[in-house]
Structure 1
Amino acid sequence: MDRLLANGTVNAAQSGEGTPLFLFHSLLSDRASFDAIVPELEKSFQAIVPELPGFGRSRAVEGGLAAVADRMAEAVRDAAGGAPAILLGNGYGGFVVLQMAIRHPEIASKLVLADSGAAFSEPGREAFRNMAKVSREKGLEAITDVAMRRLFAPDFQAQHSELMRDRREAFLRTDPDVFRSACDALAGLDLRAELAAVKVPVLVLVGEHDEATPPPMSRELAAGLPHAELKIIPGCAHVPQLQSPRQFLGALKDFLI
């Protein structure tokens, strides 16, 4: 069931009953990236999967990552009735969740930050600047191969042609201006000095072969958080919930109880 949150600005799918568990998608994907794990999660939780601002039917917001985090915090309060919720973010969604937890400390009871971080290396920043530049000059089609490589290793792509066709189509539906704005925000982001403010338990997950947000970023993130546990998911890249749903759910299990 879809519902509109935050004064009609955020569209979200909702299913199941229990403690609210929000799932925030990555920049190079959409909320369908959680389709393989929601049926299991909704057995124990109220699973809420929003479309981030500017994606799907959620309205875009200006003001960088802080403004995105504030809009999503409003949506979380709306759906959870003001009670603390469990927030899970993958990739860009993880950066949004981390920024939310810093700016709105009461919003969450637990965080899961999957394939995310607090800051990119200079090569990582340059990759976002390049994607923004090329997409501005030639359109999203020109960076689709790069985007897919950041999501999945080449051997996985070769073995899952139907999934890759679906993921390419999803990426090409992204609003180009929203994409470029997010690239600019991530290229300049550095939340390392603010990690100590996050007091809730955090599970940091990362795919072993993630090229977009490599494991060293997750190690740095976990080390800077007061109450964090790090798990590396073998054989996976940037979207482990799509690549290996059972492994991803297994990594979550004990933390979510």
Structure 2
Amino acid sequence: MDFMQIGDAAIHYRAVGLDGRRPVIAFINSLGTDFRIWDAVVERLSGTYGIVLHDKRGHGLSPAGSEPISIERHAADLLALLDHLGVARAVFCGLSVGGQIAQSIAATAPERVRALILSNTAPKIGTAESWAARIAAIKAEGLPALVEPVMERWFTPAFRRADNPLYAGARTMLAQQNEAGYAATCAAIRDADYTKAAGRIAVPTLCIAGAGDGSTPPDLVRAMAARIPGSRFVEIPSCGHIPCLEQPAAHAAALTDFLAGLPEH
């Protein structure tokens, strides 16, 4: 296991293939998950690209630390990790809140961004009222009480089968997340709005939606793509909010096709 200390938070990460010759993809997880969600996609890409994975603070094996959590704090953590690894520029592939973290980096440190992959995300996600209700539910009942409604937004009925071990694993992963870190990131999403910044993105951008996504529906992702000059939009059929788990082959194919068309520098 590899960790990098940032203040009083130790960021858990994994880096492979950083040989200075291959383009680097920095993957950024969704709310309530850790970097294992990318395993099946990374398996398909790691021979061609350098890979950086990390658990954002308050998720997985990364403690929340004492600093206030915001999208900008998460973005600063990732940039510090890339500095630590000697990565000056990367493709940022963010899922859900991970996509907002990628948008923050594009807005504040565009020189670090070779391209963006914004999967199942939007410049603004949800409403202040919906996030306040979720935070209140966590404080009152704990994170396990939210597993069922979250799973309904994350995955299609075909994936939510009792005999699907991957679905069982996703449920357990969510239930075991740090409740304080989860709630703090809910508040960070509540306060984030990159709508204006989307129009200023000036790097190649791929926007991905899941046809059955209950958290960031296709129309929301499509509207984001329309704001980003020259972006590409892909909708994955038979897929919910976490395509790297539900449809990893299709998700990896969309990434591979987009990445193959990037300029070399």
| Pairwise same-fold verdict (TM > 0.5) | yes
2:25 corresponds to which letter in structure 1? L
Equivalent pairs counted in the alignment come to 253
1:4 matches 2:8: no
1:41 matches 2:42: no
2:57 corresponds to which letter in structure 1? P
Separation in structure 2 between the aligned mates of residue 245 and residue 159 of structure 1, nearest angstrom? 20
1:29 equivalent among 18, 33, 37: 33
Query: CA 1:198/1:77 → structure 2, altered by over 3 Å: closer, same or farther?
Result: farther
Separation in structure 1 between the aligned mates of residue 161 and residue 146 of structure 2, nearest angstrom? 18
1:203 matches 2:209: no
TM-score (structure 2 length as normaliser):
0.89
Q: CA deviation at 1:159?
A: 6.0
Uncovered stretches (5+) of structure 2, i.e. residues with no partner: 261-265
Q: Percent of aligned pairs with the same residue?
A: 25
For residue 212 of structure 1, what is the aligned residue in structure 2?
A: 215
**SS of the residue aligned with 1:144?**
helix
Query: CA 1:237/1:254 → structure 2, altered by over 3 Å: closer, same or farther?
Result: same
Separation in structure 1 between the aligned mates of residue 89 and residue 154 of structure 2, nearest angstrom? 30
- Work out whether residues 95 and 121 of structure 2, in 8 Å CA contact, stay in contact via their aligned partners in 1: yes
For residue 123 of structure 2, what is the aligned residue in structure 1?
A: 118
**SS of the residue aligned with 1:118?**
coil
1:32 corresponds to which letter in structure 2? R
After TM superposition, where is structure 1 displaced by more than 4 Å over at least 4 residues in a row?
Answer: none
TM-superposition CA deviations, 1:59-87 (whole Å, max 9, x none): 424241111111212112322x2421111
- Work out whether residues 156 and 238 of structure 2, in 8 Å CA contact, stay in contact via their aligned partners in 1: no
Q: Which moved more, 1:126-135 or 1:196-205?
A: 126-135
TM-score (structure 1 length as normaliser):
0.91
- Work out whether residues 148 and 168 of structure 1, in 8 Å CA contact, stay in contact via their aligned partners in 2: yes
Separation in structure 2 between the aligned mates of residue 206 and residue 218 of structure 1, nearest angstrom? 6
Alignment of 1:12-161 (within 5 A): 12-17=13-18, 18-60=22-64, 61-79=67-85, 81-122=86-127, 125-158=128-161, 160-161=163-164
1:130 corresponds to which letter in structure 2? A
TM-superposition CA deviations, 1:133-166 (whole Å, max 9, x none): 1111010111110121121022320165311221
TM-superposition CA deviations, 1:180-233 (whole Å, max 9, x none): 111122123211111233211110001011111111221121111123111111
